[in-house]
Structure 1
Amino acid sequence: MNINLTGKIALVTGSNAGIGRAAAMALAANGAKVGVNCLRNVEQVEETVAAIRKAGGEAVLVQADVTELTQIDRLVTEVEQALGGTVDILVNNAGHLVQRLANAEMTEELYSRIMDVNLKSTVFMCKRVLAGMKAKGGGRIINMTSVAAHNGGGPGSSIYAASKAAVLTYSKGLAKEVAGDGITVNLVSPGFIGNTMFHATFTTDEARKATVNGIPLKREGTPEDVAGAVLYLASDLASYLTGETIEINGGMLMR
């Protein structure tokens, strides 16, 4: 069975690097027209767009802050206008730990930033594309949770873990709500994925080595490992799968 997304329009938030970039590249390589997005590091997303176009694909870049509702609306509108139709595949990849901080020191401002970038962005990106998907009679929504949603995360990341757990539970509820419209809602849950800004920013070399030593497959994951699951969930191969989570962690957490 082949994956053929020709004629489909995909939108991947936070696709300037790492998992988002790999997902955008995989979707484009299999025929989708792809909207890529970032808040900062525009030059990185320009490289992604250039690589997709060089390979014969179609892509458009829209810079937007997906924690702001007006910018979410603009993002989707510009992608749909540029690519000639409504979004068929939404990948809510934008997210961030923001900062490691113990709960005893947590501020309301940091709490809101973490919840906004992880949960609020997911909720309102989903809301924005639903009407178009319903009108077409179907669609694919793929949300990003984390192994932290199951185990509480590392030091100073309990609010991040809680936000990702909220994304997981929200996605199950949404999956039930829109199943009758032919829309599936599933999740990808990465474990320790290397070559990402997350670990480059928040994980020491010592912690990285200790974590990898505890992974049954004895390696850190790659963005392409996660992109493969995204591609599957975006395709007809996953047409009877909704409200589910694919764990991509090399066996470090088995459920």
Structure 2
Amino acid sequence: MSRTILVTGGGTGIGRAVAEHFAAQGDTVVITGRRPGPLNEVAARNKKMRAVSCDHTDPEALQRLLEELPGRIDVLINNAGGNTDFDRASEAEPDLASYAQAFRANLEANLISAALTTKALESRLSAGAAVVQIGSIAADQASGSYGAAKAALANWNLNVAAELGPRGVTANVVSPGYIADTEFFRDRLFDDRRSALIDATATGRAGVPADIVGAVAFLASPAARHITGQVLNVNGGARTTR
């Protein structure tokens, strides 16, 4: 039976790979994000996919998104986010106002966006639906406001699991380590840092979007109906080898 899947941040990287996987399985997939260009490019190549521009930190934008969505969502993947520190010019000693603005930006992008989206779609999640949050290994490391936001995401997900569990809805977090072939680091990942990230793994390689796709697909499958409130780390063993 075909399902309806919503993938936020579905125009590039992990979100795009996840969306393409579900579309290839015959599911109807809606991808969202702030940039229409990448979204439309991906959706144009697949008849099972539709692109809708949306800023998931904006309640009004989410209300407009609801008008574009079907009445039932079977899988919600909160993938939109990223380290917003990479989007601003570095400051040697930012003043307090700048520090607050930068900290809030990561919370908005990675925590508030997921919370607002899940709340907006709560009544549309079908019985037995799956919610999957895309977290990060940064949640367990000293990674500034980005890591704090991802740690909060994992904690907040416990509430989602508890609140939606009676309806048969599961809520889990997939927590990637370093994943190559994405826009995450913008142009700020240099060779020495890349090598260090790979050396920290037990597998001796960078992750790729397909690694995350497999984990998300499992958590959204019938085999995972009794798994909820969990964090699935997909990082090549990096957490245990640092």
TM over 0.5: yes
TM-score relative to the length of structure 2: 0.91
Q: How many residues align?
A: 235
SS in 2 for 1:107: helix
1:61 equivalent in alignment to 2:47: no
1:46 equivalent in alignment to 2:40: yes
Distance 1:30 1:8 in 2: 10
How far has the Cα of 1:137 moved from its partner? 2.4
User: Mapping of 1:79-90 within 5 angstroms?
Assistant: 79-80=69-70, 85-90=71-76
Note the alpha carbon deviations across 1:19-58, whole angstroms, 9 max, x for none: 0000101111122100011102x222222112322xxxx1
TM-score relative to the length of structure 1: 0.87
Aligned counterpart, 2:15: 20
How far has the Cα of 1:201 moved from its partner? 3.3
Gaps of 5+ in 2: none
1:247 equivalent in alignment to 2:233: yes
Distance 1:131 1:23 in 2: 23
Distance 2:93 2:150 in 1: 20
Distance 1:115 1:129 in 2: 20
Q: RMSD value over aligned CA atoms?
A: 1.8
Moved over 4 A (4+): 100-104
1:203 equivalent in alignment to 2:189: yes
Aligned counterpart, 1:34: 29
Contact 1:26 1:228 (C-alpha < 8 Å) held by counterparts: no
Distance 1:202 1:175 in 2: 36
Distance 2:240 2:129 in 1: 29
Give the percent of matched residue pairs that are identical in Structure 1 and Structure 2. 31
How far has the Cα of 1:199 moved from its partner? 2.5
SS in 2 for 1:199: coil
- Of 5, 9, 13, the residue aligned with 1:10 is 5
Aligned counterpart, 1:3: none
